[in-house]
Amino acid sequence: MTDGILLIDKPADMTSFGVVARVRRVLSQAAGKKVKVGHTGTLDPFATGLMIIVVGKECKNAERYSKLDKVYEATIELGKTSTTGDPEGEITVVTDIEPSKDDVVAVLKRFTGIVTQTPPQFSAIKVNGQRAYKLAHKGEAVEIPSRDITIHSLELISYDYPHLKVRTHVSSGTYIRTLAEDIGKALGTGAYCTQLRRTSISEWSVGGAENLDAFMTKNAPKA
């Protein structure tokens, strides 16, 4: 393939740029020339799930794909916070207060519709021409303006304290790590996102995506 889109199921512990680099390498090797490859929105290294990879001429449409709604499944741990909002940060125990399921359901209802959200400092958003996470890693203060996002639905899948699992359908630009933290604040417990999986982007589902390792193996040059 030299033009079009690929649906890849991103593994955990890999950056989105790492996924793109691997896909670019095997496609370029297969084509015998450098093939242009890009992504349509990053997934955090700890996250898994659907990535739409644009190839060749389709790269010019990357922004159009990035603006599409997305669906995620997230596991959130209550009673603790993380400096990054995910397992990669410094974890701090906040409280052992155990909210009831009714408390959790009531709070989740407050996070549907148009919601004002402040993106995390450890994010790929550019601040004065630099990625926010690079400034944050240097210990520099990063001010990121709040913005309105839309949470179309936020469903509780399961709750077994301190873990709750949710499924959420959101607009482009929504940070699930921040949503997890905001839920923790609303419950008075603190919280961070321990697992995150993107299951769909608009009409494309992770069920139709290819495992990255399988893709690499299938497209690797034959000896």
Residue 13 a catalytic site member: no
Cα(78)–Cα(139) distance, integer angstroms: 26
Cα(99)–Cα(97) distance, integer angstroms: 6
Number of other residues whose CB lies within 10 A of the CB of residue 105: 14
- Taking a C-beta distance cutoff of 8 angstroms, is the pair 92, 78 a contact? no
- Taking a C-beta distance cutoff of 8 angstroms, is the pair 51, 8 a contact? yes
Pick the catalytic residue: 3, 13, 44, 96? 44
Cα(99)–Cα(102) distance, integer angstroms: 8
* Amino acid sitting at position 137: H
Cα(97)–Cα(105) distance, integer angstroms: 16
Measured in degrees and rounded to the nearest 5, phi and psi for residue 70 equal: -135, 155
End-to-end CA distance of the chain: 20
Active site residues: 44
